[in-house]
Amino acid sequence: MIELKVRYISNEIEKLRYIDGVSDWIDLRSAEEVELKQGEWRLIRLGIAVELPEGYEAHIVPRSSTYRNFGIIQTNHMGVVDHSYCGDEDEWKYPVLAMRDTVIHVNDRICQFRIMKNQPKLTFTEVEHLSGTSRGGFGTTGVQ
């Protein structure tokens, strides 16, 4: 079991817990009342600071219902919090762009996170040819 040290900067949000016992993601909640007009950008306070274990990072992404419920998108599409962001005042925030006028209330679930091990150290070896067969295109379809 891995321990996360959490400092609650807001006492108005629910404590961290797994999503309804059915997922290994953890919901994050707005720690402030936010009113946004279409096209406005904002960093929404999440009301927590977390000390991650060395060798781990947190990945923050929208909940599946975030756009439907609030009309916001995460501007960097995935947030990464590394181990060094671990002080008392290092509050997690959620960068959003409003696609329509919206109001987000304190304690609304707006995103989620999980922790992951850091990528292992890599070396890069330059070669003239790779051993795989070329498929052309991109992605899994190979279609351009």
Q: pLDDT per residue over 105-144, tens digit each? A: 999 999 999 999 999 999 999 999 988 877 776 666 655 5
What is Dmax (Cα atoms) for the chain? 58
Active site residue 24: no
> What tens digit of pLDDT does each residue of 9-34 get?
999 999 999 877 678 899 999 999 99
State the residue for tokens 């409003």: 98
d(CA 54, CA 36): 36
CATH 1.20.120.340 fits 5-117, yes or no: no
Please pick, among 20, 24, 82, 88, the residue that the annotation labels catalytic.
82
